[in-house]
């Protein structure tokens, strides 16, 4: 039996190359090795967008298009919509009793997101509950492995705590999932400005759906070394976004090492390295854009693929839920 992977995204915007190196690339590679489930977490997205349901709905399709564009095969990986799996909502409701409010408020991932979103005292309850609903996302299918970015590790840790509590109180129904981190270099892709992690809302991202012109423009605007004013000047590669990206995306490591040495010595201009990076990114994203455009012509078929994955997931979920009800002594009618 293949091990089960559970991974996914919140449909709050189109995905970018940070998502690609941090997780999408892994999903394409791992889909044959594992039985992979991919959750489009619309309930989670609604927790910060309760008043914009149409935005969440639009992004469900966008995220699905991004998945298809990068080469996730919906016949191999099971892609599903969170809100259409009632078992996830049920499990969340059972898990809330196993977690204190204080523990939720201490979760570093949630704390950081609450700070970023500027909720102040007005935190939506559903937002605070992310660690619990995410534990339900992972356990309802009994996932063995959860590929996540480093920022999500506290959520996996809390999921394991919930599993231990549940198993101790009721019966050993669940197992603790293992987090799978992306390779070192890919863990946190800097934004174009070199200031923060890449994010669409910060406007420092290259989207998988960007046009060729948009990509060139963004690469040419990338942060390099502000002290490197003339080509002849020695430049710094530390904190230089172009070199950080070359380290990740350029397959020719020897040439990158030579370019770095040349840049540090002086005599290598920013435009030269940016052109090189632009070529590499165009080659990577170009075929994705074509596939995306092809699927985008027929959204009904794309939604049908999503429906198939969701129905398949529901069947698996119903079976596992029976065990939970039995363990909790709430299987009243057998
Ligand atoms: N929290 C993830 C994000 O912000 C999305 C997500 C929801 C998820 N449920 C999950 C990821 C379960 C992995 C496993 O993108």
Q: Which strands sit side by side in the sheet containing 178-180, from one edge to the other?
A: 78-81, 35-40, 4-9, 145-147, 178-180
pLDDT value, residue 187: 61
Which pLDDT score is estimated for 199? 87
Neighbours of 165 (CB within 10 A): 14
Angle between helix 270-296 and 253-265 (nearest 10): 140
Q: Whose CA is nearest to atom 14 of ligand 1?
A: 7
Q: What pLDDT, on the 0 to 100 scale, is given for residue 188?
A: 74
Which domains are assigned to the chain? 4-188+299-327 (3.40.50.620), 212-293 (1.10.240.10)
pLDDT at 55: 95
Question: What is the C-alpha separation between 310 and 192, in angstroms, rounded?
Answer: 36
pTM for the model stands at 0.93
Q: Are 27 and 78 in contact (CB under 8 A)?
A: no
pLDDT at 197 (0 to 100)? 85
Q: Is residue 69 within 8 Å of residue 208, measured between CB atoms?
A: yes
Query: Quick check: CB of 13 below 6 Å from ligand 1?
Result: no
Q: Which residues of 146-155 are buried (b: 16+ CB within 10 A; e: fewer)?
A: bbbbeebebb
- Please work out whether the CB of residue 44 comes within 6 Å of at least one atom of ligand 1: yes
Q: Which residues, other chains included, contact 322 with Cβ-Cβ below 8 Å and sequence gap of 6+?
A: 331
Q: Is 134 in the pocket of ligand 1 (CB under 6 A)?
A: yes
| Per-block mean pLDDT, blocks of 10 residues, the chain (334 long) | 94 91 92 97 94 95 97 97 98 97 94 90 92 98 92 94 98 96 74 88 92 97 93 94 95 96 96 97 97 97 98 94 95 91
Beta bridge partners, 4, equal 35
Q: Give the whole-angstrom CA distance, residue 180 versus residue 23.
A: 10
Q: Return the pLDDT at 186.
A: 61
Q: Which ligand 1 atom is the nearest neighbour of the CA of 143?
A: 14
d(CA 14, CA 199): 10
Q: Whose CA is nearest to atom 4 of ligand 1?
A: 10
């Amino acid at each position: 039996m293949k091990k089960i992977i559970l991974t996914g995204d919140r449909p709050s915007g189109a995905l970018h190359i940070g998502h690609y190196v941090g997780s999408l690339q892994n999903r394409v590679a791992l889909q044959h090795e594992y039985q992979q489930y991919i959750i489009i977490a619309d309930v989670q997205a609604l927790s910060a967008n309760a008043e914009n349901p149409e935005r969440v709905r639009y992004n469900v399709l966008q995220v699905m298009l991004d998945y298809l564009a990068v080469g996730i095969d919906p016949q191999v990986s099971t892609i599903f919509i969170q809100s259409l799996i009632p078992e996830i909502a049920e499990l969340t409701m059972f898990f809330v009793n196993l977690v204190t409010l204080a523990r939720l408020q201490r979760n570093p991932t949630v704390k950081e997101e609450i700070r970023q979103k500027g909720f102040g005292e007005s935190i939506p309850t559903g937002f605070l509950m992310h660690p619990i609903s995410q534990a339900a996302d992972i356990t309802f299918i009994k996932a063995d492995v959860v590929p996540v970015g480093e920022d999500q590790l506290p959520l996996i840790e809390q999921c394991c705590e919930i599993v231990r509590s549940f198993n101790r109180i009721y019966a050993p129904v669940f197992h603790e999932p293992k987090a799978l981190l992306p390779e070192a270099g890919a863990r946190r892709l800097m934004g174009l400005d070199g200031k923060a992690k890449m994010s669409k809302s910060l406007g420092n991202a290259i989207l998988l759906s960007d046009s060729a012109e948009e990509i060139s423009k963004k690469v040419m605007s990338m942060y390099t070394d502000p002290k490197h004013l003339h080509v002849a000047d020695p430049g710094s590669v530390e904190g230089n976004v172009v070199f950080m990206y070359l380290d990740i995306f350029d397959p020719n490591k020897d040439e990158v090492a030579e370019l770095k040495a040349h840049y540090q010595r002086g005599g290598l201009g920013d435009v030269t390295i940016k052109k090189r990076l632009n070529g590499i990114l165009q080659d990577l994203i170009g075929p994705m854009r074509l596939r995306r455009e092809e699927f985008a012509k027929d959204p009904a078929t794309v939604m049908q693929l999503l429906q198939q994955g969701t129905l398949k997931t529901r069947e698996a979920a119903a079976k596992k839920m029976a065990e939970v009800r039995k363990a909790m002594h709430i299987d009243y009618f057998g």
